[in-house]
A and B are shown apart, each in its own frame.
Chain A
């Protein structure tokens, strides 16, 4: 069988922050009525994480569960386990009016890490990234310059970003520009109490 590789095959860049395309990541999108017990159960079982509130992402040892819209969830899991988990999900869902689809190969995922990560992301996304407003555990679907993206924070210096695979090169390039050496904005650092 042919070898599967991610969009940019683990490309990385060091500037103001470290930018990495983190390689193959299993992703399952689940659409349905999120108030249904079956849908909730399927999502939490498949991801191992607790059910997230509005605009939240919850993390487990083997995956994560993200709220994407009022009727959509995203389940993150190891790439190799997608088909197994998906099969179980489809079985449990049965006749429930919901849809679970493997979107791993349709997306690309980046890690943006470093002290200036908030500044770098704020250059590209129209999101209030003030430490008191945007915290780890929250996910935002927004724009990254000209493309759609979803961003969340793993911890205070680490962002994760998901975009469509077809625009992965654009996302990587625009992130590199925002993180170019000498382009520090120092905006969020200046907000911190000394």
Chain B
């Protein structure tokens, strides 16, 4: 690999800028209100105000409640279809060059997993209660 130079990174400049802007804006949204309320004199903390508040959950308890094993099934099915989707990207990009064979191979792949999907659906693996 020595003879091959590392990739020219300047092509990733837009995404770097994007990340920078995203970081700056999201940081501003957190910090600005804190600064503003300091400056305007409305910062009057008391224990109730400082308590964590999130969706009505009590603030202090073990955060690791046990999950139902059904989450696992959903997560596995998600991974399978996630991978299926990942295979679609190179296919979509190269579809012009790979002809009918390439198109048919992806259709066959989709049918395989489509049958799996029908099976999962019919078995009730996608149902909650």
A and B are interacting partners? no
Residues in A lying within 8 Å of B, measured CB to CB? none
